[in-house]
Copies of this chain bind each other. A is one copy, B any other.
Amino acid sequence: MKLSSVCWFVLAVVPAIAAQSKTESAVSPEGMAHLAGYTADTSGIERSWEKKFQQGIAPGNIRENMRRLSARPHHVGSPYDKDNAEWILTKFKEWGFEARIETFNVLFPTPKERLLELVEPAKFRAKLQEPALAVDPTSNQTTEQLPTYNAYSADGDVTAPLVYVNHGNREDYEQLDRLGISVKGAIVIARYGQGWRGIKPKVAAEHGAIGCIIYTDPKADGFFEGDDYPAGGWRPRDGVQRGSVMDTDYPGDPLTPGVGATADAKRLSIHEAKTITKIPVLPISYADALPLLSALKGPVAPESWRGALNITYHIGPGPARVHLKVVSNWDIKPIYDVIATLRGADDGQWVIRGNHHDAWVNGADDPISGQAAMLEEARMLGELHRQGWTPKRTIIYCAWDGEEPGLLGSVEWVETHLNELRQHAVAYINSDSNERGYFFPGGTQDLQGFVSGVARDVEDPETHLSVFQRSHLFSIAKAKDAEERKDLRKRKDLVVTALGDGSDYTAFQDFAGIPTLSIDFGGEEDGDQYHSIYDDFYWYTHFIDTDFVYGRALAQTGGTSIMRLADADLLPYDYSAQADAIAKYEEELEKLLKDKQEEFAERNLQLQEGVFAALTDPRRPSVPPPVETVPPYMNFAPMKNAIDSLKKSSERYSKIIADWQAKGSLPLSTHGFESVNAELLKISRLFLNEKGLPERPWFKNQIYAPGAYTGYGAKPIAAVREYMDEKKWEQADAQIPQVAQVIENVAKGIGKAADTLEKAIAQAH
């Protein structure tokens, strides 16, 4: 489901300079940099295989993969979804992988009835249909297309006054409170953007709304951004964003939380499933939204709420009244994960790569742009294998089904194979949609140095700089001030940003404690048709990565990463980078507390001074905000002490590695390497707490997690931070010791790995 490219771009993160990382590589006597985790010998061999790999990636193959996979609609439960899975299976086998399909049975609702009409002050019935376009050859596959809808919407039939709620986030309702407007008993209309779409009906229902409409304002991805389709690549007036509105309690099949949705799994009833919305929801185009929004009166929306339609945006409530009816077929459907293994010399450690294959409709961009590139990677790895290369570790390529409804394929697979994965998994590398432009990885920062090294070795197809360098220079250009530019110019690595739950990495990172990367290129889009029938081969090849050179760059990045991880003598984790990132997350918590203390103290002072009363305009009545209790101080000391331990042990580990590299990265004994790797493999699991987050037990990772009210967006150290967001200061404070304990455990784990490494180096020399 991945964030649409436009939204994605605002999360774009900060990369780093081209200096060599001390922990990542060292210069050999001959002047050639060793790869991190490699000896002088193995580094040279690895580089020559990687070079062969990169040279073999063919944009034409990626194009043909996309043509095949996006030729017909292939959502969960559709014939072409299964057909694609079988074709992918055949290909993996053809390329020399051991491959199989794993099937799960998941709840996947599809539309039975959809109705939206304006009943007052005028009559209008929404079309709820994306028209076929003559130039676009797959847009007319009407019988196979899923209608426009939001999966996991509650069934309902409601008629009520309409209220415009901007993006429908919690802050928007605070603004409505200031205007004295309630949505109780109303149907809300929210615009897409600013967070996971499932948050909109969730927050609306929490405020008493009985229905929710979501429309795509042309300001987000329509004519405001550029010429619309088919003249340009941007969403046309009738374009609709489908999508899941599953709640954020847990991802995966709503009926089998925490366990694989196998044939014989114990299932909740639909009634018991917590992740289905409380009120009916329906997505619409702006052409359908325009008569509704135009019929609203009441206050003019604040400036930041206004979109690009040529109307005055009013909030309501009413006089517009709308009738909304949503009924689904609540069926169990099979999903088909294709799992392909290239067995390594040592089968005890697994390097995993994944990208989903299901789409909402034809899905050329989402997800086939990533899937097509990933398959080309796999083909070329098979080719190298035929030429004599065998990876040290086992490589597993996964083509997930059911990502769009709620990460179903990856979550059910991870839940099913949890114990094996915790025992064997070295890393999981995810991709999804891929466009054109810059490389900004997300993930766990133990892979920050590693992925930066890979990015130095992949060429940007437009500028012929390394993708590292191009992203680094982009960050300098976009830095917010001189201080940020100064920091960037000193950095040796790209910044790897924390991930929430936007794609199939979620279960690996948040449930299984596996080091994770999310990779893609973007930022130079000439359009967006996210979750529309127009996200298809014609559109993609006219407006996005038209010659598939960024598909090639993605395959080169993904495949090089997989090879380099699979072949390393020592697993190339960089704990110092991760310790720095965690220290920053902790500082953010302290800053959040301070900001809230100041904000509420200031607000209370202004209430005393009469500021809000002085600003009341009798023609635009407003309600002063409530007095807020100023947050008490919290005890961050345990976490800060734990982070100090973490920094010390990770710096110690880094120093041992650096010294080993400085002395020529001489080989350890096989047992020596194995004993260190065995310790390293355990470390990321130590971030888990089996009890999970306080109010979301599925999410085990105590550092990396999505927000309950952001969904896509990460909320690092969520156990503490989410309570702070809820203004539950005592509960937040009470979570600090257990998070600190987790960090202490990681510090100890790193210390143990350092001991083992020291011993192994001493024995070798």
Contact = CB atoms under 8 A, between A and B. Distances in A.
B311 A223 contact: yes
Given A310-B308, A526-B619, A611 B232 contact: no
Given A462-B618, A616-B463, A611 B309 contact: no
A477 B602 contact: no
Contact of A524 (B232, B437, B474, B619): B619
Interface stretch (A142-150, A465-473, A748-756): A465-473
B614 A310 contact: no
Interface in A225-263: 225-228, 232, 234
A476 B606 contact: yes
A300 to B, nearest CB: 5
Interface string A414-439: 00000000000000000000000100
Contacts of A526: 619
A478 B477 CA distance: 30
Contacts of A310: 218, 223, 308-310
A489 to B, nearest CB: 9
A306 B477 contact: no
A614 B469 contact: yes
Interface in A581-618: 598, 602, 606, 609-618
A371 to B, nearest CB: 25
A329 interface: no
Contacts of A485: 602
Given A228-B312, A312-B232, A482-B602, A473 B223 contact: no
B615 A474 contact: yes
A597 B445 CA distance: 37
Contacts of A226: 300, 312
Interface residues of A, number: 45
A493 B306 CA distance: 36
Contacts of A300: 225-227
A224 interface: yes
A610 B227 CA distance: 30
Nearest to A306: B224
B614 A474 contact: yes
Contacts of A617: 437, 462, 524
A261 to B, nearest CB: 44
A319 to B, nearest CB: 14
Contact of A614 (B308, B463, B524, B598): B463
Interface string A42-76: 00000000000000000000000000000000000
Nearest to A311: B223
A463 B308 CA distance: 35
B312 A224 contact: yes
A614 B471 CA distance: 8
A32 to B, nearest CB: 25
Interface string A348-382: 00000000000000000000000000000000000
Interface string A308-349: 111110000000000000000000000000000000000000
A234 B218 CA distance: 23
A762 B462 CA distance: 83
Contacts of A618: 462
Nearest to A460: B614
A315 B312 CA distance: 26
Contacts of A470: 614
Contacts of A616: 462-463
A610 B308 contact: no
A614 B312 contact: no
A13 to B, nearest CB: 16
A697 to B, nearest CB: 40
B312 A482 contact: no
A613 B308 contact: no
A473 B609 contact: yes
Contact of A473 (B227, B465, B610): B610
Contact of A482 (B309, B465, B598, B614): B598
A470 B613 CA distance: 9
A416 to B, nearest CB: 44
A306 B612 CA distance: 33
A696 B617 CA distance: 43
A562 B614 CA distance: 27
Interface of A: 218, 223-228, 232, 234, 300, 306, 308-312, 437, 462-463, 465, 469-470, 473-474, 476-477, 482, 485, 524, 526, 598, 602, 606, 609-620
7 contacts: A225-B312, A227-B312, A463-B616, A473-B614, A474-B611, A524-B619, A526-B619
Given A308-B310, A465-B614, A474-B615, 7 more contacts: A224-B312, A225-B312, A227-B300, A473-B609, A477-B606, A477-B611, A524-B617
